[in-house]
Chain A
Amino acid sequence: MKVAITSKGVTLDSEVDPRFGRAPYIVVVDTETLEFEAVDNSSNVNAFKGAGIQAATTVCEKGAEVLMTGYCGPKAFATLEAGGVKVVDDVTGTIREAAELMKSGKVTYSTAANKEAHW
């Protein structure tokens, strides 16, 4: 299964970035093979507003089934939902640990955004 994880770096040992819209990278990992692709999310880091929406469309385009991150705002959540992507938040550790957690199935999908909209 393909899972997108917000990341501070470009390797499996990089740390999970708790921010979604403003994380520098989104690493898309295949939980079976651990093959991965690091997607540059930095054009979003400086977005004035709606960074999460952009990041969400990127995740949808990459064909990920699940997004793992720290916090996800309501607009990003709505976008992911429309794209059929499930969300796991409050994720910490490395990308590898997150991918393994996903594989083990011991995750709780969120049913709503866990972060307020900000203006």
Chain B
Amino acid sequence: MIISIASGKGGTGKTTVSTNLTLALGDRVELLDCDVEEPNAHLFLKPEIEQTRRVETPVPKVDLEKCTFCKKCQEICRFNALAVVGKQVLVFSELCHSCGGCMLVCPEKAISEVGRELGVLNFGNRDGIRFINGLMRVGEAMSPPLIKQVRANANPDKITLIDAPPGTSCPVIAAMNDTDFVLLVTEPTPFGLHDLKLAVEAVKLLGIPAGLVVNRADLGTDDVYRYAEQENLPILLSIPFDRRIAEAYSRGKLIVEEMPEWREKFVGLFEQIETIVNRSKAQLCANS
């Protein structure tokens, strides 16, 4: 089972939820931090990093000796990553999506592959809990390819928890796509609600069952709760604003470490998710 943990915006406590859920469930889970622009789950889970791997994506390189400047490569590239001008072929490798189309279409076989570094993957472990994160190369513009690489390393025998990047654009979709459940984390404030709505729309498009964790639940207004009811979005856990929780966070400690009674609440959160996922799978079978 794959569960992605997302939020419409940053700073709602998404990482707090993902790391506490991870530690509460123990070594039957693995945590994949897909917030590759600013990974921070490791700061709280504190895994021991055992291996670091560089990740590249293939981009074209043109041999001008062979090239006849026929422009076929430019025409096939949907991403405008190639420009044939005069006796030059410019490659804008940061726009390239590595589809390989230009290489296939080149009649002179003038195009070969070279690697563009996307970033690194870190593999680690905390008390038997497997941990992976991706760290995007500074200056790299596209995060989805690296997010896909992080996810490609998931272990299907484990329950996979994915810490998704904030926002609602391509990187988040790359992190949520093909998961069994999306756990949305929000705050009961007007800004929180606004971003939650965008996230819910994205999840609906993907057709994945979702549920809500409300963080700092006793601050703010009732609007989030009304919205959740209206959208049929179950509230699976409420985390109150608690000085002890805030203190634990500021010391980089997890709630379940400092306040053991929370371990059960996070396990309960998982059990509710499991029930919903099994029910929606049963429904899918019944319908097909």
Contacts and interface: CB of A to CB of B under 8 A. Distances in A.
Interface in B78-117: 79-81, 83-86, 88, 90, 92, 95
Contacts, number: 43
A16 interface: no
Interface in B19-35: none
A53 B86 contact: no
A70 interface: no
A42 to B, nearest CB: 15
Nearest to B82: A53
A79 B90 contact: yes
Counting chain B residues whose Cβ lies within 8 A of the other chain, the interface size class is 10 to 19
Nearest to A85: B85
The CB with the most chain B CB atoms within 10 A, among A47, A53, A54, A56, is that of A53
A53 B88 contact: no
B74 interface: yes
B49 interface: no
A49 B84 contact: no
B85 A119 contact: no
Interface residues of A, number: 18
Interface in A31-88: 47-51, 53-54, 56-57, 60, 75, 78-80, 82-84
Interface of B: 74, 79-81, 83-86, 88, 90, 92, 95, 141
23 contacts: A47-B80, A49-B80, A50-B80, A50-B81, A51-B80, A53-B80, A53-B83, A54-B80, A54-B83, A56-B83, A57-B74, A57-B84, A60-B85, A75-B92, A75-B95, A79-B90, A82-B85, A82-B86, A82-B88, A83-B86, A83-B88, A84-B86, A119-B141
